[in-house]
Chain A
Amino acid sequence: MNFIILGAILFYALSMTGYLFYFFLQKDNLQKTGYYLFAAGFLFHSFNIFSDFKTLGVIPVLNLGQTLIFTGWTIAGVFLLFQKKYNLKILGIYTAPLVTLITAVGSCFPSEVATVDTLFKNFWLILHIITIFIGESAFALACGVGILYLLQEHAIKTKKHRFFLKRLPSLEMLDSAGYASIVSGFTFTSIGLAAGIIYAKLAWGRFWSWDPKEVWSVITWLVYAVLLHERLLAGWRGKKTAVMAIIGFFIMMFTFLGVNLLLPGHHGDFTKW
């Protein structure tokens, strides 16, 4: 545990408070404050990631603590980009607590790394890690947007919860933002899976080895593929997309962490602690 990551967590937590106040009081300045605090947290966080990268020579995902911290970092980065493009002001109410939690939990694990395998310095592996993390961060945002969509839809349908109706953006906006994050998530995870398969061939001599992580990754990928397919052809939108985005995210979480912790396989190091 070091002070830089503590700084990042502190700023994320402050940002979370800013967004909470924004949610209740609806003052644009509070949202801006939350956003800038979040960006400050991201700066600290980035510094931490890059200094780890420099000392280790590889992307710091060698144990569970590092992996979580890295996850928090990519979610934060994707959120900042997403915010710039969609200006979905309220999304911080989901992202700030999520990033704070992931990063804080990650920083509680011991960070010592025993050995650095030279295999980690392969181009395909680096590409695999980066794209998979970005893709999964986009799915995490899609899940958040989906939750907001369901809340807003519920408010409009039941005609009672004016509290949410007033505070959340329009269904159309949530739907298109959710769709956009699923499309980008899908694109990145597709690249990531392809890079992973190529790397498997280089490292272990075969593309596919029925490792549980591999199987679950493909299942996750298929869930999102079905979602996109149905949206384009059968016009799945609104509530269905939102529910699927949330379910997809939980399946992804299982693939990401559950498989490693519960089932044996060659991604073991990645979540060792």
Chain B
Amino acid sequence: MNPLSILLIGLNHNTAPVELREQMAFSTDEAKKAVNNLCLSGDISEVLLASTCNRMEILMAVKNRSEAVDTAKKCISRIKDILINDFEKALYVHEGDNAVRHLFRVASSLDSMMVGEPQISGQIKQAYHLAAREKTMGVILNRLMHRAFFVAKRVRTETGIGDHAVSISYAAVELGKKIFGSLENKSVLLIGAGEMAELAVEHLIRNKTKKIVVANRTFENGVELAERFNGTAIRYEEIYTSMVSADIVISSTGSPDLIITRAQIKKIMKARKNRPIFFIDIALPRDIDPAINRLSNSYVYDIDDLKDVIDENINDRNNESVKAERIVDEAVVNFRKWHEGLGVVPTIVALRSRIDEMADRELKKTVQALNLSENNIEAVQKMMGSFINKILHDPIIFLKKNGCNDNNSVYLDTVKKLFNIDH
């Protein structure tokens, strides 16, 4: 009998509009309920469910494809309280190699809306941990998921897909590194507040910047923000003096006019002894005079400039994904080999030849050491042969009987591991 086949059903940003994706998003509790329910049905042996804001994927090892698909659809409909007709069209169903490939591509962020974005691998890991805690995965999905993590890692390290900044804060850090080399021990001045600016500061902190100084028109707000970054707050009037020591200035105020002008920076550059300074202007309308960019050793990037950087990086990412697809293809083939080997007959054959091989090796040693005659060698060989038959008799009967039963892959996999039979 064949091992369980792998089935994947799901929907993503390409097949479903955002409203539907919102409706189909599973909370942790719902996901828990779903995997347990699905596992109870007789057609599905192993389940994993991953749900993010851009996709929902159910990965299963099943005995009967069409029944499993129906069960899964019903289950979704029940838990999310939505009619099957409403989401059926957005669903895709992949089987076998296609399902494996799809999973690998998702895990290595090739199927993401923003190719190469790093969050997805964490989200897939969460789904894996949930299924592991609920014990809804068996040998096959376990192995498949580990392969998926491995592929994702290879794609990340061997292709440039993860290198390129795709968020404003990534782009800012990347540029900062091109100016300062390392951002270690650089000090940062944040003027104003705002989600994007704060994100950028957090990113800089992760790159080991030394000092964070926060200036806000309302001093109290500045203090609050500074505490969050483990930095210090200064009064708004102090920004010019503090720019003498700052290396990176992030500005995000609501001011309708420029707050930092070329003339001011010209003076400050003298006091800084021309040490480079990098302005990141996230405000709209702008806070920092673009003419400052023409002064030597000072660099100004506003939000549009950063967006251009991001656009180009996205382009590069798409090019690198060709390489990544090749890695995925390789992994799919390798997994198929392992999966096919899970059948009862191949396992028995492999087990038999593994033992024969060992016996042959030992026999040769003994023959050499004892200098036996032809007749004696034959006798020893015979003895070994029947010995092997006796030893393997019960395990093989067991595999033939139980291996075809419900969850055969556990036994098959265990045998392979016990005897170190190559996958």
Closest beta carbon of chain B to A8's beta carbon, Å:
34
Are B178 and A159 interface neighbours, CB within 8 A? no
Instruction: Give Cα A255–Cα B270 distance, bound, in whole angstroms.
Output: 34
Interface residues on A, range: 10 to 19
Known contacts A162-B312, A238-B297, A239-B297; decide if A156 and B274 are in contact (CB<8 Å): no
Closest beta carbon of chain A to B243's beta carbon, Å:
16
Contact mask for chain B residues 350-392; partner A; CB cutoff 8 A; 1 contact, 0 none: 0000000000000000000000000000000000000000000
Known contacts A159-B301, A237-B297, A239-B296; decide if A170 and B274 are in contact (CB<8 Å): no
Q: Which residues of A contact B275 (CB under 8 A)?
A: 235, 237
Instruction: Give Cα A237–Cα B308 distance, bound, in whole angstroms.
Output: 29
Q: Which residues of A contact B177 (CB under 8 A)?
A: 170
B179 contacts the other chain (CB 8 A) = yes
8 A Cβ contacts from A170-190 to B:
170-173
Which single member of A172, A234, A239 contacts B180 (CB below 8 Å)? Answer: A172
Q: Which residues of B contact A169 (CB under 8 A)?
A: 181
Which single member of A152, A162, A171, A237 contacts B274 (CB below 8 Å)? Answer: A237
Are A157 and B179 interface neighbours, CB within 8 A? no
Known contacts A173-B181, A236-B274, A237-B274; decide if A156 and B175 are in contact (CB<8 Å): yes
A240 contacts the other chain (CB 8 A) = yes
B104 contacts the other chain (CB 8 A) = no
Instruction: Give Cα A253–Cα B302 distance, bound, in whole angstroms.
Output: 42
Q: How many residues of B contact A (CB 8 A)?
A: 21
B305 contacts the other chain (CB 8 A) = yes
Closest beta carbon of chain B to A40's beta carbon, Å:
29
A165 contacts the other chain (CB 8 A) = yes
B304 and chain A: residue at smallest CB distance: A159
Q: Which residues of A contact B305 (CB under 8 A)?
A: 159
Instruction: Give Cα A165–Cα B171 distance, bound, in whole angstroms.
Output: 13
Q: Which residues of A contact B180 (CB under 8 A)?
A: 170-172
Known contacts A156-B299, A159-B301, A239-B297; decide if A172 and B274 are in contact (CB<8 Å): no
B393 contacts the other chain (CB 8 A) = no
Closest beta carbon of chain B to A176's beta carbon, Å:
8
Instruction: Give Cα A236–Cα B275 distance, bound, in whole angstroms.
Output: 9
B271 and chain A: residue at smallest CB distance: A235
A155 and chain B: residue at smallest CB distance: B178
Are A170 and B312 interface neighbours, CB within 8 A? no
8 A Cβ contacts from A160-211 to B:
162, 165, 169-173
B312 and chain A: residue at smallest CB distance: A162
Are A172 and B276 interface neighbours, CB within 8 A? yes
Instruction: Give Cα A75–Cα B180 distance, bound, in whole angstroms.
Output: 28
Instruction: Give Cα A44–Cα B181 distance, bound, in whole angstroms.
Output: 36
Closest beta carbon of chain B to A179's beta carbon, Å:
13
B293 contacts the other chain (CB 8 A) = yes
Q: Which residues of A contact B273 (CB under 8 A)?
A: 234-235, 237
Among A159, A170, A235, A239, residue most surrounded by chain B Cβ atoms (within 10 Å): A159
B296 and chain A: residue at smallest CB distance: A239
Closest beta carbon of chain B to A24's beta carbon, Å:
14
Closest beta carbon of chain A to B40's beta carbon, Å:
52
Are B181 and A157 interface neighbours, CB within 8 A? no
Closest beta carbon of chain B to A86's beta carbon, Å:
12
B177 and chain A: residue at smallest CB distance: A170
Q: Which residues of A contact B293 (CB under 8 A)?
A: 157
Q: Which residues of B contact A170 (CB under 8 A)?
A: 177-181
Contact mask for chain B residues 303-342; partner A; CB cutoff 8 A; 1 contact, 0 none: 0010011001000000000000000000000000000000
A239 and chain B: residue at smallest CB distance: B296
Instruction: Give Cα A240–Cα B177 distance, bound, in whole angstroms.
Output: 21
8 A Cβ contacts from A225-255 to B:
234-240
Are A172 and B179 interface neighbours, CB within 8 A? yes
Contact mask for chain B residues 239-276; partner A; CB cutoff 8 A; 1 contact, 0 none: 00000000000000000000000000000000011111
A169 and chain B: residue at smallest CB distance: B181
Closest beta carbon of chain B to A17's beta carbon, Å:
23
Known contacts A238-B297, A240-B296; decide if A152 and B178 are in contact (CB<8 Å): yes
Are B179 and A171 interface neighbours, CB within 8 A? yes
Instruction: Give Cα A105–Cα B352 distance, bound, in whole angstroms.
Output: 72
Are A172 and B181 interface neighbours, CB within 8 A? yes
Q: Which residues of A contact B297 (CB under 8 A)?
A: 237-239
Closest beta carbon of chain B to A230's beta carbon, Å:
10
8 A Cβ contacts from A140-165 to B:
152, 156-157, 159, 162, 165
Closest beta carbon of chain B to A58's beta carbon, Å:
44
Are A156 and B296 interface neighbours, CB within 8 A? no
Instruction: Give Cα A169–Cα B312 distance, bound, in whole angstroms.
Output: 19
Which single member of B178, B274, B308 contacts A235 (CB below 8 Å)? Answer: B274
Are A157 and B299 interface neighbours, CB within 8 A? yes
* A interface residues with partner B (beta carbon < 8 Å): 152, 156-157, 159, 162, 165, 169-173, 234-240
* Given A157-B299, A165-B178, A239-B296, 17 new contacts (CB under 8 A): A152-B178, A156-B178, A156-B299, A159-B301, A162-B309, A162-B312, A169-B181, A170-B177, A170-B180, A171-B179, A172-B276, A235-B275, A236-B274, A237-B274, A238-B276, A238-B296, A238-B297
The 9 closest A-B pairs by CB, nearest first: A235-B273, A172-B181, A170-B181, A235-B274, A238-B297, A239-B296, A173-B181, A159-B305, A172-B180
Task: Name 8 interchain pairs, CB-CB below 8 A, sorted by A.
Answer: A152-B178, A156-B175, A172-B180, A172-B181, A237-B274, A237-B297, A238-B296, A239-B296
